[in-house]
């Protein structure tokens, strides 16, 4: 079978976690799976996954590498079945003290990187009537305190996926969003490592004001990660989005993702109460006894 008869997929963020699992599963199903990685060590590991996996040097924050990767895939002549925009990071911390540059970095990877990957590969997807799959999160429906940058990026990614699905429908390109719940993935370990560095830079004020709440949220994150679903479960949803005759717009993956999607529909005050209870956060402080506070409806 020559290259033009074989179908290929591109998966970003494939050095570990969901991306590596998706590349492996798709390779096992007969696709040539281009695994997007950023360095030589990750490329060696990707190439060793399966005979059908090809390491693809690609940094989603560097448009030049994205364009070079797209040109490389096009030159090989495979029929591009789909692109999986999976690369992501998790930035966490109290918004009151979090440097805005950290929030920008979150969006550069999770949002702008995903969009630039889509833009670079869309000419090939148009030619092959391919598919575009974004890996979001249930946090894109339910903002979680102290990981707000991550949640915000997934809200934004959800909006991009929804808009692109309508914009690209006339071209025959299906767009799907994967919304997993808790997953056993290195992204949170990387986030915890970054948290230690970030807390050192935030200063004592942040720790004094939010320390107990941050500890509670991270403890819950650790519990959920340990009880989380295997990355292979998310990979199967990605494969379904790429191969189903009529792919869904959204794939909510995992029990706590389904629960989170229900909590997201609650009225704001009730939703806040549920979040505080589930994360073991303190209740709202009582209002001051007097002085300078507008009552509701006063303005």
Tell me if the pTM is above 0.85.
Answer: yes
Q: Find, among 61, 49, 183, the residue nearest to 117 by Cα.
A: 61
pLDDT tens across 178-226, in order?
Answer: 999 989 876 656 555 655 666 666 677 777 888 888 777 777 777 777 7
pLDDT of 291 over the 70 cut: no
Select from 3.40.50.720, 3.30.1510.10, 3.40.50.2000, 3.40.30.10 the CATH code of 3-279: 3.40.50.720
Summarize the confidence of residues 287-297 as an average pLDDT. Answer: 53
Residue of 78, 150, 210, 251 marked active site: 150
pLDDT: is 62 or 292 the higher one? 62
Query: What pLDDT, on a 0 to 100 scale, did the predictor assign at position 5?
Result: 66
**129 included as an active-site residue:** no
The full set of domain ranges for the chain reads 3-279
């Amino acid at each position: 079978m020559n290259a033009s008869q074989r179908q290929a997929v591109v998966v970003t963020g494939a050095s570990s976690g969901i991306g590596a699992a998706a590349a492996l599963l798709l390779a096992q199903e007969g696709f040539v799976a281009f695994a997007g990685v950023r360095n030589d060590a990750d490329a060696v590991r990707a190439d060793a996954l399966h005979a059908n996996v090809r390491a693809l040097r690609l940094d989603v924050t560097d448009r030049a590498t994205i364009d070079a990767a797209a040109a490389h895939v096009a030159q090989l002549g495979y029929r591009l079945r789909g692109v999986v925009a999976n690369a992501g990071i998790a930035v966490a911390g109290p918004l009151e003290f979090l440097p805005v540059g950290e929030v920008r970095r979150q969006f550069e990877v999770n949002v702008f990187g995903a969009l630039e990957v889509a833009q670079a590969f869309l000419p090939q997807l148009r030619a092959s009537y391919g598919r575009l799959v974004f890996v979001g999160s249930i946090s894109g429906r339910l903002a979680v305190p102290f990981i707000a940058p991550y949640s915000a990026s997934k809200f934004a990614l959800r909006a991009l996926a929804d808009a692109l699905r309508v914009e690209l429908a006339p071209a025959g390109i299906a767009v799907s969003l994967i919304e997993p719940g808790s997953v056993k993935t290195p992204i949170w370990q990387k986030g915890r490592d970054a948290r230690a560095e970030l807390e050192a830079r935030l200063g004592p004020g942040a720790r004094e004001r939010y320390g107990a709440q941050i500890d509670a949220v991270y403890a819950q994150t650790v519990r959920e990660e340990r009880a989380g679903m295997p990355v292979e479960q998310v990979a199967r949803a990605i494969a379904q989005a790429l191969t189903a005759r009529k792919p869904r717009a959204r794939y909510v993956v995992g029990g706590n993702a389904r629960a989170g999607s229900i909590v997201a529909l609650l009225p704001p005050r009730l939703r806040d109460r549920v979040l505080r209870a589930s994360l073991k956060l303190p209740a709202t402080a009582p209002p001051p006894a007097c002085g300078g506070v507008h009552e509701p409806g006063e303005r």
